Amino acid sequence: MRRRKNAPAPRVKSINIISKTKIMYIQLRDRIKCDRLGTHLLYYVAQIIVATVNNIYIFLPENRELFCTDNIFAESLFYYIKLHNAALESRAIELGGEIIIEYGNGMNHICGSATQTAGCSIPEYFRAHIWPKIAGEFERLAAAAGYTAAAKLDGDSIVCHLRLDDIAGRNIHPMTLCVKHYRELMNAGKETPIENFFDDLGCRHNCQGIMPTEVVEEEIAAALKRWAEYKVFIVTSPVSTPDESLANKYTILKHEDPALDLYIMCKSRVFIGSRSTYAICAIMWGEEKMVARMPRWGHLTCCGVGTKYCRDARIEEFY
């Protein structure tokens, strides 16, 4: 649904000002064009949560196309937006002005705000309030795209995501500094603007990083101790090559279509994530996870995981 052309559009910067006699609206925004599927999707979800909790209309922009539209995940969100707007429209309250959510491109900032607005982690809110309304449509879209047939995991599965291609060469280290910083802000109910942190060796502690191979092997081994009959699949970029110790043991999946790979990750019952928004999306859509093991990093913390806002014991942190 797009904004009505005859609607008044005063610009209000505060997302907390909601008229009692008019329903305000936002126009959905996306990230910069060079960002990839997971970041755009999580950015949409954060805005949708803020609008849902505050009973605000959500309109797609009139003057330009969104970058991330040609995939079943975005389409399922646009389906949710139609349902959300229809529910507000049924109240026959006059359409008010536009509310601008001013967070620039700061994923930490908007995710932290969405989590605090919802009162729970983003994955938990999505699973409780958004997923039940879009699950059927999502699977219909998946079947129509051929994903259902292509994503056979041969029964119960452990799926591990390796992010390798665009972060190759970065320092490998835990994200202790930024996680501690954002956890303190989240638990205090404060805003979470983007910041960089560097340790004494000059290593940056607020960015995605490749998981050490031995850490990945330990995670897979621990999962196989609990679910010995499960088959292990590793999902990675089509231009990436995992270490031989992983490639020789497990089935490697890589497709040119990132939405298909994300769909496969969503279908797993046991998931081992990476430091990426892509992996965060994998625990929102699709199958209910028995456990999702996610490496610590600042963006995940701002989504509520590891803070007082996350009550789902199935979402576990490591490294």
Give me the residue label for tokens 């190759």: 168
Q: Which helix (H) or strand (E) holds 272?
A: strand 270-272
Q: What is the reported pLDDT for 240? A: 73
CA 284 – CA 275 distance, rounded (Å): 15
Question: Which range has the worst mean pLDDT, 166-175, 269-278, 298-307?
Answer: 166-175
Mean of pLDDT values over 202-229: 83
Report residue 211 as tokens: 């998981």
- Distance, C-alpha 33 to centroid of its chain: 17
Instruction: Specify which residues 11 forms β-bridges with.
Output: 98
pTM of the model: 0.88
Report helix angle 107-118 to 176-187, nearest 10.
Answer: 40
200 pLDDT more than 90: no
Q: What angle do CA 65, 71, 75 make, to 5 degrees?
A: 75
Residue 141 · residue 75 · CB < 8 Å: yes
Q: In what order do the strands lie in the sheet with 57-59?
A: 11-12, 94-99, 22-27, 57-59
User: What are the tokens at 307?
Assistant: 């803070």
The two beta strands, 22-27 and 231-235, are unpaired
Is the distance from CB of 160 to CB of 234 less than 8 angstroms? yes
Quick one: what percent of the chain has pLDDT higher than 90? Answer: 60
- Percent pLDDT > 70 in the chain is 82
Residue 2 pLDDT > 50, yes or no?
no
Is 70 exceeded by the pLDDT of residue 27?
yes
Residue 224 main-chain phi, psi, to 5 deg: -70, -25
pLDDT at 141 over 70: yes
For residue range 85-140, what is the model confidence (pLDDT) as tens digits?
999 999 888 888 888 877 665 889 999 999 999 999 999 999 999 999 999 999 99
Residues 100 and 61: their CA atoms lie apart, in Å, by 13
Q: Which pLDDT value is given to residue 165?
A: 60
41 membership: H or E segment, kind and range: helix 37-53
Token pair in block for residue 208: 């995605």
Q: Which residue do the tokens 């995501």 mark?
A: 161
Residue where the block lists tokens 């994503």 = 151
Min mean pLDDT across 10-24, 82-96, 219-233, 299-313 is at 10-24
Sole residue written with tokens 């340790």? 199
Using CB atoms within 10 A of its CB, is residue 14 exposed (0-12), middle (13-18) or buried (19+)? exposed
Judge whether 54 and 15 are in contact, CB under 8 Å: yes
Q: What is the mean pLDDT of residues 181-204?
A: 80
Q: How confident is the model at residue 249 (pLDDT cuts 50, 70, 90)?
A: very high
Within a 10 A sphere around the Cβ of 30, how many other Cβ atoms? 21
Question: Which tops the pLDDT comparison, 312 or 93?
Answer: 312
What confidence score (pLDDT) does residue 164 get?
A: 55
What is the set of domains in the chain, with CATH numbers?
Answer: 11-118 (no CATH), 152-318 (3.40.50)
Counting every residue written for the chain, the total comes to 319
d(CA 191, CA 184): 11
pLDDT of residue 13: 36
The pLDDT score that the predictor gives to residue 151 is 82
The pLDDT of 277-297, averaged and rounded, is: 95
195 or 59, which is more confident? 59
Least confident piece of the model among 3-7, 102-106, 203-207? 3-7
Average pLDDT over residues 283-296: 95
pLDDT at 10: 35
